Amino acid sequence: MALLRLLAISLLFAVATPVRDIAHDACSSEVKDFQHLNNSSGLHLTLHHPQSPCSPAPLPADLPFSAVLAHDGARVASLAARLAKTPSSRPTLLDESRAGSSSSSSPDDESSLASVPLGPGTSVGVGNYVTRMGLGTPAKSYVMVVDTGSSLTWLQCSPCVVSCHRQSGPVFNPKASSSYTSVSCSAQQCSDLTTATLNPASCSTSNVCIYQASYGDSSFSVGYLSKDTVSFGSTSVPNFYYGCGQDNEGLFGQSAGLIGLARNKLSLLYQLAPSMGYSFSYCLPTSSSSSSGYLSIGSYNPGQYSYTPMASSSLDDSLYFIKMTGIKVAGKPLSVSSSAYSSLPTIIDSGTVITRLPTGVYSALSKAVAGAMKGTPRASAFSILDTCFQGQAARLRVPEVTMAFAGGAALKLAARNLLVDVDSATTCLAFAPARSAAIIGNTQQQTFSVVYDVKNSKIGFAAGGCS
């Protein structure tokens, strides 16, 4: 969509304020010797829970769970909008004349504003895990949100022409990288932005490609499509395409940006695949202070997992769909027909906190869990969570719940995967009814090793992934 020209005005330069990293003796930036990474030659990164004190960009410790649910609901709504291909728009302002066509140039000509219509994306923020990524030459490290529901990787860039949110550490400076270059509007990667961000690309007055990434919780990033060397530890990859954000607004914690792992040619996975392979795996840790997990890109140990095929879907070919076939509570199948599980498409997602199930399946699960815990005092509903108990999940006796998927893969849920503590005295079933799509969220995935083998179109699960 053509950019709308508005009156030329001067823009205030918003510079992100660095904040001090939290340091704990129990915290480590090194990847531990996780059992599922043994004999694996993939690229291994440490992964942190967004509310862990060990996180290099933690969310506020006193963030109420109601806020988590609110942003989780926005993410679910935006995923539903993507599947329904529902258009939406929101104008944002970008000083397009600041983009230079060379590595370090930024024209100082008169500013002009661009009004950019933004469509639905995927909400990020409180539910997403974080890691570190190096960028530029010489490489500097940045804290990044990891998201399987997004394709384009982006981070905040100086001079933050319109706005930058508060982040941990300094903002990336393209002028300080000898390998940085902006991407022209005629490049194929500029055309590819439409599928990567679900928003049309735009063009600056200096012929630099403008990306627009919007998210369901009203967060967004707009900036210049760029190319530079990306690095993780001692491994570096040149000519990596990403977004250099100049207008970044919303709740991203204190991260510098986002790493996209969806099925799209501009995602980090697909750009690294020629040298590392079309697969990645992770273990999502809990929020405990000394707990960490991992993100591994590349080869993995195939014999350790039970697999389910990736399901094909015409709704959105960048998301990861699977088929749920059943749920057992205390060894007994739920009292629903097998067709109830396939009444909605099912997505597995790293950033959704609360798993959404087809209404009939959820009702049966709620009834079965409540029945198995009939000796535990009930508590009032908490927002969308209507099956709640007095106490904390770790101190209650809960039934064994197993989620089964096509091909024989299964998740045997521990108490921490079944219930979520919403305050100091209440815990609730970490499931809710779905409207347009079922979603396997990250509460159920925590401490499991989950592999996305895109080349062979399958997803695997293995218990004890974070140990």
Backbone phi and psi for residue 18, each to the nearest 5 degrees, phi listed first: -65, 150
Q: How many CB atoms lie within 10 A of CB 359?
A: 15
* Alpha-carbon span 365 to 431, nearest angstrom: 9
* Alpha-carbon span 248 to 242, nearest angstrom: 14
Backbone phi and psi for residue 443, each to the nearest 5 degrees, phi listed first: -60, -40
Note the pLDDT of residue 83.
86
Report pLDDT digits (tens) over 409-449: 999 999 999 999 999 999 999 999 999 999 999 999 999 99
Backbone phi and psi for residue 300, each to the nearest 5 degrees, phi listed first: -145, 175
Burial class (CB in 10 A: 0-12, 13-18, 19+), 39: exposed
Q: What is the largest CA-CA distance in the chain?
A: 72
Residue of 293, 311, 257 whose CA lies nearest to 447? 293
Note the pLDDT of residue 287.
78
CA atoms in the 13 A half-sphere facing the CB of 39: 4
- Contact, 57 vs 167, CB < 8 A? yes
Each domain of the chain, given as residue ranges in start order, spans 114-296, 300-463
- Contact, 50 vs 127, CB < 8 A? yes
CA atoms in the 13 A half-sphere facing the CB of 33: 1
- The encoded tokens of residue 328 equal 């057992």
Report pLDDT digits (tens) over 71-105: 889 889 888 888 887 654 544 556 444 443 333 33
Residue listed under structure tokens 């500097």:
140
Residue listed under structure tokens 């990293």:
21
Global pTM?
0.87
- The encoded tokens of residue 452 equal 């996305």
Report pLDDT digits (tens) over 353-376: 999 999 999 999 999 999 999 999
- Contact, 443 vs 11, CB < 8 A? no
In CATH terms, the superfamily for domain 114-296 is Acid Proteases (2.40.70.10)
* Alpha-carbon span 364 to 376, nearest angstrom: 19
Report pLDDT digits (tens) over 380-414: 999 999 999 999 999 999 999 999 999 999 999 99
**Mean pLDDT, range 206-232, rounded to an integer:** 90
Strand partners, 228: 240
- The encoded tokens of residue 120 equal 């639905």
Backbone phi and psi for residue 359, each to the nearest 5 degrees, phi listed first: -55, -45
* Alpha-carbon span 397 to 369, nearest angstrom: 11
**Does residue 142 have a pLDDT over 90?**
yes
DSSP percent split of the chain into helix, strand, coil, nearest 5: 20, 35, 50
Residue of 433, 440, 443, 442 whose CA lies nearest to 357? 433
Q: Quick one: how far is CA 346 from the chain centroid?
A: 17
- What is the per-residue DSSP string for 89-126? ----EEEGGG--SSSS----S---EEE---------ST
At 424, the amino acid letter reads: S
* Alpha-carbon span 213 to 109, nearest angstrom: 26
Note the pLDDT of residue 449.
95
Report pLDDT digits (tens) over 171-182: 999 999 999 999
Listed in sequence order, the DSSP H helices in 245-379 are: 268-276, 359-372
List the catalytic residues: 147, 349
**Does residue 60 have a pLDDT over 90?**
no
**Mean pLDDT, range 447-464, rounded to an integer:** 96
* Alpha-carbon span 228 to 393, nearest angstrom: 46
- What is the per-residue DSSP string for 149-166? T----EEEBTT-SSB---
**Does residue 131 have a pLDDT over 50?**
yes
At 337, the amino acid letter reads: S
Band of pLDDT at residue 11, cut at 50, 70 and 90: very low
**Mean pLDDT, range 43-60, rounded to an integer:** 80
* Alpha-carbon span 447 to 414, nearest angstrom: 10
* Alpha-carbon span 354 to 71, nearest angstrom: 11
Q: Does domain 300-463 have CATH number 2.40.70.10?
A: yes
